[in-house]
Structure 1
Amino acid sequence: MKKLFFVSALSLFSLAAFSQDAVNKAMVDQYRKDKEKSDKDATDAKSSAKAAFWLERAKLYENIALQGSEVDSSAAKTALEAYKKVVELDITKKGEPGKSAKEAQNVINGGEGTQLFNAFVKQGAEKYQAKNLNGALEMFIGAQEINKKDTLASLYGGIAAQQLDKKDIAKEQFEKYAANGGKDPSVFYGLAQLYRAENNFDKAIETLNKGLVQSPNNKDLKAEIVNILLASGKEDQAINELTALTKSDPTNAQNIVNLAILYDNTSTKATQKIKEIQNKLGSGGNKAANMAKKLESEKENISVYDGELKRIGALIKKQPKNADLKRQLTDVTGKKKEALAAIATMEADVKAAQDAAKGNDVAALEKELAELKVKQAEAAKQAIANYKKVLEIDAANYDALYNLGVFYFNEAVQLKGEVDNMNMTEYQQRGKEVEGRVCGKFKKAKPYFEKAIQAKDEAEAKENLTTVNGVLEQFAGKGVACVDEQ
């Protein structure tokens, strides 16, 4: 997919229809002499006061632009200025345009059969070829003054402006091209890129949709809509667009990979959000209640320590030289001190948990959690289905193989977190069963990493495979049987 945009300027070279190869050297020499005379007469008060002089000068410079640019590379501009001078001077006694003024105005307006527009475009192309981009842009903009509905000059003007990094002018030129009925999809793509660079995502998508009106089946325009939707954080819309692309082009493996990645990302984000909500719920009433129970239990230990201290104290009175009793007294005193410190910390934690519970709308959080779990499960299902669909088309597709491996690897890591958070009682009840499922998911990831490495020798796949093999060896050493979940 394109990352940078430069409309091909090769068509500029086709303007060699105005080639100088066939121009007679004598004609060019004559143009040079005629130009010198016209330039001299332009400073003469008597000559420069006549519309006829300016009309003749306009035609001379127009011909120079079309046939002898080596005489004056900007002759088209001088021709336009001269035509405007004719309009200014040739006015009848009734205040109306004279015959010459009408003729000149017709040329300025790009009337049928006139050539001044072509003169500007030709000299603009010549400047472009000579790497004089500023001069080329000036000429192309001048051409648009003559024919405001043309697409050629606005296209080339946009190209020159973009290469000059004059983004605002480039946008203006390409917008004119589009408004005048231009159809080249690369222009719409490039214009959208300019808007995207400004984070004007809505305008970028609007531009791409305009391009699709002209080129309904253009894959680059459709794919770029997806990219921009992703860049603007509209993943759900991107999924819809990409789903439509995969249906219209079911053998395009890259589109299906991209769709799988979108679902994969959606699943990951939903999983993260689920954890956040579970933590919020965990910091609510249930957590506060559990912490309060532990606090009461710890307070009960104080009375036990006090009783023990009383007992040891009575014995020491009877046996004041007993070193073991003194040691016991020191030990119990230290434990009581630690328990009192723990109680102070726990009291603060209980208060914090109770305060946190007050700020949570438990019902709303539980509703959101249920919805997220459904969304996560569906996204995960679609991600796997589309990765596997890619492998049906291209069994050696690295992205699908690697991402499937990562998918199962991450599921294993997440499930292992459950085991890590179990207390001894919970582990004794179901720890081994969950470990078997963890092992099964790591085992499921392994062949995808192996095939990914065969498809493309990438370090990331190798590192993950090494990790998986190490984990599986640990499970084997513990005698954990891998459970393959379908």
Structure 2
Amino acid sequence: MDLAKDAQCETWQNTLNPILKSSEHPKRGIKASTWVRLADAYANYTTACGKDSTSALKAWDAIHKAKELDTDGKSADDIEALMHGQLMYSAVVNQGVAHYNAGNIEKATEYFHIGYAVDPSDTLTSLYAGIASNQLGDTEMAKKAFIHYVDIANGDDESAFYSLSNMAKEEGNVEEAISWLKKGIDRTDNKELRGELVNLYIQNDMLDKAVADLEALVEKDPTNTNVMLNLGLLYDNQGNTDKALAIYEDILKIDPDNYDTNFSIAVVHFNAAVKIKQKVDAMDMDTYQKEGAAIEAEACSKFQDAKPYFEKALAAKPDAQEAKENLENLNNVLSQCK
């Protein structure tokens, strides 16, 4: 038993009871000041005691009732101070977190949405409201919370931008999905969001638009290796390996140990070697005897070009299985060349 806690609860319960009676009184119940006092008492009761799992919601409803009754504006300052103050925020968030921890996601979500109405600049409640609404499958409320988080609270958690983009994509609005990713990239410079943007362009046959966007970004910031890498990958995807290699080499001037770039260069050389080797494999015996050796030597030279880049990639990430396997495969090919 927590005697101090019980005493606090009793104190605030004794404060609440007469105000509750006043709110039910024919005359006092139509005064805004009565409802301001009731909202204040409920909010304090929540933070000091917390035995009533709906007391923060009662505080929020009471302050709105006060605003509704304050037709002459005499209580406007008191209403505003309580409605958007720290006491109301603490009451709502504490109760929201308690519901969430108890597994009552639906109730917690209601409180989190109120939380960012109390403090519009708060990123915590708007982000949690979006995440929890998503968990409940309530796309409309999730979108509302995430948009508030991004546009009003200026939040920078990449999951909000990803979620907004994904919701737009599910609604069939590709342009909106792209715009949310771009906004997230501008604010967070997040590699995963960049990758998702590239994937979205590719999935919707918008490579030319993607290249134009990324070229503009590279021109704006020629040291941003993430943007440069994505542009290189798009060039590669379009079959423009010369441009891809040029931008990859520019990245290595800035970041010589960049794993993804070294790996990508290695793959470009390896694939080029495979194409050359396919010419040899397609030859009949007479053609092979005339031209085969020279073309095989060209292929082997190209395979050799890939090796130092696979090695650099593996040095940058010694546990990268993809680099290990590719280097082993390449070494087997080169042993045949010898």
Query: Sequence identity, in percent?
Result: 28
In structure 1, the residue corresponding to 2:283 is in which secondary structure? coil
Q: Residues 67-146 of structure 1 correspond to what in structure 2 (within 5 A)?
A: 67-69=44-46, 70=49, 72=52, 74-79=54-59, 81=61, 102=71, 113-118=80-85, 120-132=88-100, 134-142=106-114
Contact 2:116 2:125 in 1 (8 A): no
CA distance in structure 1 between the aligned counterparts of 2:326 and 2:183, rounded to whole angstroms: 45
CA distance in structure 2 between the aligned counterparts of 1:204 and 1:73, rounded to whole angstroms: 38
Q: Residues 160-309 of structure 1 correspond to what in structure 2 (within 5 A)?
A: 160-163=129-132, 165-166=135-136, 167-168=138-139, 169-176=141-148, 181-186=152-157, 189-195=161-167, 198=170, 200-208=173-181, 218-220=187-189, 224=193, 227-233=196-202, 234-267=206-239
Shift of 1:83: 6.6
CA distance in structure 2 between the aligned counterparts of 1:154 and 1:219, rounded to whole angstroms: 15
CA distance in structure 1 between the aligned counterparts of 2:175 and 2:155, rounded to whole angstroms: 21
Q: 1:106 to 1:112 in 2, by over 3 A?
A: same
Q: Which moved more, 1:150-159 or 1:239-248?
A: 150-159
Q: 1:143 to 1:226 in 2, by over 3 A?
A: closer
> Is residue 29 of structure 2 the alignment partner of residue 53 of structure 1?
yes
Contact 2:115 2:125 in 1 (8 A): no
Shift of 1:105: 10
Structure 1 residue runs without a partner (length 5+): 1-23, 89-99, 268-378, 477-486
Look up the match of 2:13: 32
Match among 251, 265, 286 for residue 425 of structure 1: 286
Higher relative contact order (CA 8 A, sep 6+): 1
CA distance in structure 2 between the aligned counterparts of 1:409 and 1:417, rounded to whole angstroms: 12
State the one-letter code of the partner of 2:333. Answer: V
State the one-letter code of the partner of 1:183. Answer: N
Look up the match of 2:312: 451
CA distance in structure 2 between the aligned counterparts of 1:447 and 1:438, rounded to whole angstroms: 16
* TM-score (normalised: structure 1): 0.54
Deviations 1:80-137 (A, max 9, x none): 655777899xxxxxxxxxxx65258966xx8874423446433221123435354443
Q: Which of these two proteins has the greater Rg computed from alpha carbons?
A: 1
State the one-letter code of the partner of 1:248. Answer: K
State the one-letter code of the partner of 1:160. Answer: A
In structure 2, the residue corresponding to 1:183 is in which secondary structure? coil
CA distance in structure 2 between the aligned counterparts of 1:451 and 1:461, rounded to whole angstroms: 9
Contact 2:252 2:258 in 1 (8 A): yes
Contact 2:211 2:234 in 1 (8 A): yes
* TM-score (normalised: structure 2): 0.73
State the one-letter code of the partner of 1:61. Answer: L
Contact 2:34 2:66 in 1 (8 A): no
Contact 2:93 2:115 in 1 (8 A): no
